[in-house]
Amino acid sequence: MDSAIPPAAGPAVQPDQQYLRLADTLRLVADQEGGPQFMGWPDRWWEAHRYRCANDHVSAVLLRSEQLGRDGCLVCQAEVHMTFPEDVDGPLRPGTNPRLSPQLRGAWGDNSWLPRYLRAMWELSR
C-alpha cells in the first residue's frame, strides 16, 4: 500500500490578461500619485486595505486561499490587486483618486489612452 501524498491537482495558476491589464493600470496610478511609498506602492494604499479584482469588485476583505494558490475576491474568487482607498465597485476610474493632479484626473477619466499604452507595453515585451 502506497501512502505517498498525491501531487497537487492541475497546473500552476497563471494570471489572466484582464488581471495583467488591471495590474498595469494600477501601477500607473501608483506611479503618478507620488508621496511616501513602501515596496513601490503608496503608503496610503497599504493602510487602506482595499482590493480590486478584474471583474470590477472592490472590497476591504480578500480570500486567502491555498487551494486557489493566490488571494481572491470574495464575490467571484478572481485574483485581486491592491488599489487606492477611494476606489469603488464598477469600472476602474483612476480619475477618482484625489492625489492625482486635475490634469491627470481629466486624462484618466476617459481611459482613451489605455489601449495605446497596453499595446506599447505588449510590443516592448516581445
Q: What is the pLDDT along the chain (126 residues), one digit of tens a residue?
A: 444 544 444 444 455 888 888 888 888 888 888 788 888 888 989 998 899 998 889 999 888 888 878 888 888 888 899 998 888 888 777 666 666 655 555 544 455 555 665 666 666 666
What pLDDT is stored for residue 19 in this prediction? 86
Q: What CA–CA distance (Å, rounded) separates 116 from 65?
A: 35
Write the CB contacts of 15 (distance below 8 Å, at least 6 apart in sequence): 23, 79
What pLDDT is stored for residue 50 in this prediction? 92
Domain count, the chain: 1
What pLDDT is stored for residue 107 in this prediction? 47
Flag whether 4 is in a domain: no
What pLDDT is stored for residue 13 in this prediction? 45
Flag whether 54 is in a domain: yes
Instruction: Locate 91 and state its grid cell.
Output: 469600472
pTM exceeding 0.95: no
Q: Where are the beta strands (DSSP E) in the chain?
A: 37-38, 41-42, 51-53, 58-59, 63-65, 70-72, 80-82
How many Cα atoms sit within 13 Å of 52 on the Cβ side?
27
Flag whether 9 is in a domain: no
Flag whether 121 is in a domain: yes
Helix axes 17-33, 114-125, angle to 10 degrees: 110
Flag whether 25 is in a domain: yes
What pLDDT is stored for residue 8 in this prediction? 44
Domain that holds residue 101: 17-125
Flag whether 59 is in a domain: yes
Flag whether 33 is in a domain: yes
Flag whether 7 is in a domain: no
How many Cα atoms sit within 13 Å of 11 on the Cβ side?
2
